[in-house]
Amino acid sequence: MLFKKVCPRCGRRYPKNFPSCLECGSTLIDIEKEAKKAELKKYLPVLGMILLCGVIIAAVLFVVIPLVQASLATGQEFGTLSKTTGQTPVITYQMNQPAGNGNLQVTVIKTRDGAKSANSKKFFFVTVTLQNLRSDSPSRVASADFTLLDGGGNPYPSLGLGDTVAQEIAPLTAETFDLTYEIPQDAYGLKIQFSFPASTSRSAQSVYFLLP
């Protein structure tokens, strides 16, 4: 192609080495470059759709599917998985619904009020079953692994797990204990936050148990 440039004003064509039109002085346009730009514009909508599809697929692979898998693995409804930014999803369980991590399984069996104490408080008992799923070593669980939270987010530490502050569960054994708390008499929206001991979990893992 001999004439590779064109004047946008008068339409005269020129070889590639001409910078401007000899008739009107207008800057010449490179015909090949303009054709490539026009061709690229045709594909921009398609490229945009491909990029959008890529974002959607990435979201499904790295966000939705892991949440669904966690839900199926624990028997929870998808809506009970509450996710906090940068953290592992925290799963909420009902009473009599076991929560486990492959090494240890915890189930909240029942709750009951105890005697009133000083300063408008009362003792509150939560019965839990701890099952060691390991066959090779015992699992040690402490009362500090269980924190009682009220509807206002106020934490209450456990005063004991059974008759002591920690229990050792033999391999492939399940045992039931009472957790003891002292809480305000008008406490509401109670739930237990259980943190799996480091000896039973590769990473920090917590679950919630909703209480009646």
Q: Dump pLDDT digits (tens) for 44-74.
A: 777 778 888 888 888 777 776 766 655 554 4
For 93, 120, 124, 182, 187, the CA distances from 117, given in Å and listed in that order, are 30, 7, 10, 8, 14
End-to-end CA distance of the chain: 84
pLDDT in tens, 168-197: 999 999 999 999 999 999 999 999 999 999
Position 75 scores a pLDDT of: 47
C-alpha to C-alpha distance for 27 and 19, rounded to whole angstroms:
6
CATH 2.60.40.1240 residue spans of the chain: 80-210
| CATH number belonging to the domain at 80-210, selected among 2.40.50.100, 2.130.10.10, 2.60.40.1240, 2.40.50.140 | 2.60.40.1240
C-alpha to C-alpha distance for 27 and 16, rounded to whole angstroms:
12
pLDDT in tens, 139-178: 999 999 999 999 999 999 999 999 899 999 999 999 999 9
